[in-house]
């Protein structure tokens, strides 16, 4: 996975809300210098957006002062499956009637086991 890529209009339309890295740091109660390592380690996914290509994280990835449960493991599975950052975002934010909702919503609702199982099935 390329850590810092630029997001296209399709992904931008799928992801409703974004946070800048200082906003992520504030919500997680961390120093801003800890955010890029979290991205490089695969704990979070960030892409460049907008005219100034600002590095941003989907706000759905942060909940109650922490990274949502199951996100790092899911990102690892998607990376191992060969997904680019954009493909991972598209998969995480595309509605699935059988889930129901999006995988990102399911992770926020503590249904990470099912999300990870589906991500693992993509490799088959």
Per-position pLDDT tens, the chain of length 124: 444 444 577 888 899 899 999 999 999 999 999 999 999 999 999 999 888 889 999 999 999 999 999 999 999 999 999 999 999 999 999 999 889 999 999 999 999 999 999 999 987 6
How far apart are alpha carbons 21 and 82 in whole angstroms? 25
How far apart are alpha carbons 28 and 79 in whole angstroms? 24
Picking from 108, 74, 69, 112, the residue whose alpha carbon sits closest to that of residue 91 is 74
Q: What is the pTM of this model?
A: 0.88
Both tokens of residue 15?
């992801």
Q: What pLDDT, on a 0 to 100 scale, did the predictor assign at position 19? A: 97
User: Residue 16's domain spans which residues?
Assistant: 5-121
> Total structural domains in the chain?
1
């Amino acid at each position: 996975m390329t850590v810092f890529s630029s997001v296209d209009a399709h992904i931008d339309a799928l992801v409703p809300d974004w946070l800048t890295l200082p906003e992520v740091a504030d919500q997680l109660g961390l120093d801003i210098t800890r955010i890029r390592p979290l991205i490089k380690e695969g704990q979070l996914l960030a892409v460049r957006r907008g005219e100034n290509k600002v590095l941003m994280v989907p706000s759905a990835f942060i909940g109650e002062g922490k990274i949502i449960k199951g996100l790092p493991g899911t990102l690892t599975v998607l990376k191992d499956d060969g997904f680019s950052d954009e493909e991972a975002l598209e998969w995480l934010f595309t509605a699935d009637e059988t889930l129901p909702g999006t995988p990102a919503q399911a992770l926020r609702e503590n249904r990470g086991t099912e999300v990870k199982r589906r991500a693992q099935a993509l490799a088959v």
